[in-house]
Amino acid sequence: MILNQGRGLAALLLAAVPLLSQTIPVKEHTLSNGMKVLMVERHDEPTISCGWLARVGSANERPGITGMAHLFEHMMFKGTKTIGTKDAVRDAQLNEAQDRLQVEIRKEMNILREQQLRGEIADMMDPKARTPRLQKLLGEFDNLVKNQRELIVKDEMDRIYKEAGGTGLNASTSQDRTFYIIQIPSNKLELWTWVESDRLANPVFREFYSERNVILEERRQTLESRPDGTIGEAFNAMTWMASPYHWQVIGWPSDIAQVTREQAQEVFATYYAPNNITAILVGDFQSDKAIQLMEKYFGRIPANPKGVPEVITLEPVQPAEQRMLAQAETTPSLQVSYKAVPAVHKDAAALQTLAAILSGSGGGGGRGGRDGGARTSGRLNKSLVLDLKVATSASASARGQKLGGLFTLRVTPAPGKRPEELEPLLYAELAKVAKDGVTDQELDRVKNAYQISAWTRLESNSGMRGALAEAEATGSYKDLLEAPKRLLAVTKEDVQRVAKHYLVKEGRSVLIVTRKGAGPEAGRRGPRNQAQEVK
C-alpha cells in the first residue's frame, strides 16, 4: 500500500473499517449468576486461549490495603481445598491458627508504630526494633508455616495443566483489572472450567502471611533496587493527587506487611464474585458447548448480591504545574506527564494520534508495526535527536485507563547536555503542533501503521484474548471493535485541538533526574523560554 496518496488513503482506510468489526465475530453470553463470557471461534489450530478477568486492580484499593489486588494474583496460584494440599482439614486448621497468632503479632506491631511516631525508634520494620514478645510470636508463627508447608503439594495446579498439554499459565495485575490466562488443547475445555471455577468457589489463601514477605522481596527487587525506582513511585504519587492511581500496583510496604487474611476474604467476596468477572475464550471450540460447560462449573458460584462499589474519586483539575527534581546513579532524563483522558473518552483517539506523530510510531504511541521508517520520522526524534543532536532518545505516549489518562513525554539528553536544557526545546515542539497543526502525510502514516499493528496483534489467539481483556478492563469489548473507526476518523483539526486543550502548563508534572554528584546546580534550572510553551 502506497503511503503518500494524501487524503485518498485515509478515505480508503475509513471506508474499510466496517469490515474490521465483521471479521472479529465476538459472541457474548451472560451466565445465570451474572458472569460474562466472550467467545471468538477460530478453528485453524486445535488450541484455545483461555482467560478470565476480574474487574479489580489497585484502583479498587484504599490506604491500608494497597497491594491487595496484586497479592491476590499470587494467592490464586496457591491452590484450593482439593488442589495443592495433602490434607485439606489440617491445612484449614493451620490457617486458622496463623490468623489467631497474627492478631497478637499486630498488637505488638501497633506498639512499634506508636514508638516510631514518637521518634523512639527509627523504623518499626527493623528486626532490631522488635520486642521480646514479638520475637517469640514470630518464632511460633514460623513453626506453623513450616507445619503447613509439609502438607503442600507445590505447583500442583501448574502440573495438572501441563500434563493435559496446557501452556502459559500466568496472571497479571494492573490498576484496573487482574487477568488469569492459559492456553489449552481444544479437547481440555472442561478441565479448564473445573480448575478455574474451583479457584473461585473454594479459595483457601494458603501461605497468606508468608506470601506477604515474598511480595515485599519482589518490591525490593523490581522497584526499590533500581536507581530510579522509588523516584518514579514518588513522581507517580505526585502526579495523581486524588485518584487511586496514586500508588503503585504492588502497594506501599507498610500495607503489604500488615494486611490480614480477614481483609483479603472481604475483598475476594466483593470483587471475585462472578458478576464482576468476564471469561474470554479464543480458539477451537463450539460456543454452545462452551456455554454449557461454563454454566455447569462457573454457574454454581453465587453472585455478589450487593454488587461492586464504584470508584467515585475522580482526579480534580490540576491547578498548577508540579515539578520534581531528583538525583540518582542513573542516566539523566526528563519526563513530562500531562493529565489526559480515560480510554473510552471521545478525545482518546486524537491524543493517541498526536503521541504517534510526535514519537514516530503506530497509533497510540506504541509499536510502529512494519513501518520501518516510522521511528525516525517522529517529530521529537527528528528535531531533538537528528537535527539538534541534544538527545539520544525522545518519545511520546498516550495511555488511557478506566478512570483517567496521561500524555507522557520522555527525553534522554545527549552526553554533555542537561535535562533542563532540553525542556524548552520539548515544549517548542508541542507549541508547533498547537499553532500550525500536523500534515496530511503524518496523519496518514499513523493511520496506516495503526491498521497494520492492530491486525498483527489480533492475528494470534493470545493477542485477541489480551486485546479483549484490555477493552473490558477500561470499558467494553465493543470499544475494541469500534477503536479502528474512531482512530481513522481523527482529523488534523482534532489533533491540533487536543494539543491546545490538554498540553498546557497547569496540567503537567515534570520530573528531572540528574546523576548524583553532578553538582549543586544540576536540575535546578527550569525552562528558559516560557513563550514557547503550549498555552
Contact indicator for 271, 308 with CB cutoff of 8 Å: yes
Pairing of strands 322-328, 333-339: unpaired
Say how far apart CA 331 and CA 414 lie, in whole Å: 10
Amino acid at 107: K
What's residue 70's pLDDT? Answer: 97
Burial bucket for residue 342 (CB in 10 Å: 0-12, 13-18, 19+): middle
The ranges assigned to domains in the chain are 27-84+154-300, 86-151, 322-532
- Going by the DSSP 8-state scheme, the letter that residue 60 receives in this structure is G
The C-alpha cell at 34 is 451474572
Out of 3.30.830.10, 3.40.50.1000, 1.10.3720.10, 3.40.190.10, the CATH code matching 27-84+154-300 is: 3.30.830.10
Cβ count within 10 A of residue 320: 9
Say how far apart CA 290 and CA 284 lie, in whole Å: 11
Global confidence as pTM = 0.89
What's residue 451's pLDDT? Answer: 85
Say how far apart CA 188 and CA 186 lie, in whole Å: 6
Cβ count within 10 A of residue 65: 21
- Going by the DSSP 8-state scheme, the letter that residue 352 receives in this structure is H
- Residue by residue, DSSP assigns 462-490 as HHHHHHHHHHHHHS-HHHHHHHHHHHHT-
The C-alpha cell at 330 is 542513573
The C-alpha cell at 10 is 485515509
The C-alpha cell at 71 is 497479592
Contact indicator for 333, 463 with CB cutoff of 8 Å: no
What's the half-sphere exposure (Cβ side, CA atoms, 13 Å) at 87?
11
Contact indicator for 444, 5 with CB cutoff of 8 Å: yes
In three-state secondary structure terms, 120 is coil
Contact indicator for 16, 258 with CB cutoff of 8 Å: no
Pairing of strands 508-515, 322-328: parallel
The C-alpha cell at 70 is 496484586
Contact indicator for 7, 489 with CB cutoff of 8 Å: no
Domain 322-532: give its CATH architecture: 2-Layer Sandwich (3.30)
Residue with grid cell 503550549, as numbered in its chain: 534
Say how far apart CA 112 and CA 109 lie, in whole Å: 5
Residue with grid cell 491524543, as numbered in its chain: 351
Say how far apart CA 392 and CA 292 lie, in whole Å: 56
What's the start-to-end Cα distance of the chain, in Å?
A: 38
Cβ count within 10 A of residue 535: 11
- Residue by residue, DSSP assigns 301-346 as SPP-TT-PPP----PPPP-S-EEEEEEESS--EEEEEEE---TTST
Question: Of the candidates 468, 352, 452, 467, which has an alpha carbon nearest to the alpha carbon of residue 399?
Answer: 352
Apex 385 CA angle, 370 and 234, nearest 5: 90
User: Distance from CA of residue 126 to its chain's centroid?
Assistant: 31
Based on C-alpha coordinates, what's the Rg of the chain? 26
The C-alpha cell at 91 is 491445612
In three-state secondary structure terms, 74 is helix
In the sheet where 27-30 sits, what is the strand order? Answer: 27-30, 36-41, 277-283, 47-54, 178-185, 167-173
Question: Of the candidates 242, 269, 324, which has an alpha carbon nearest to the alpha carbon of residue 63?
Answer: 242
Q: Any residues with CB less than 8 A from the CB of 353 and at least 6 apart, and which?
A: 363, 443, 446, 447, 487, 490, 494, 495
Say how far apart CA 336 and CA 293 lie, in whole Å: 49
Question: Of the candidates 29, 32, 54, which has an alpha carbon nearest to the alpha carbon of residue 40?
Answer: 29
- Going by the DSSP 8-state scheme, the letter that residue 414 receives in this structure is P
Q: Which residues pair with 409 in a beta bridge?
A: 336, 396
pLDDT averaged over 10-residue windows placed end to end, the chain, 535 residues: 39 48 84 98 97 97 96 94 95 95 95 96 94 96 95 96 98 98 98 98 93 95 94 98 97 94 94 98 98 98 94 95 97 97 98 96 44 64 96 97 98 97 97 97 93 87 96 96 93 98 97 80 42 38
Domain pair 27-84+154-300 / 322-532, same fold: yes
Say how far apart CA 274 and CA 384 lie, in whole Å: 51
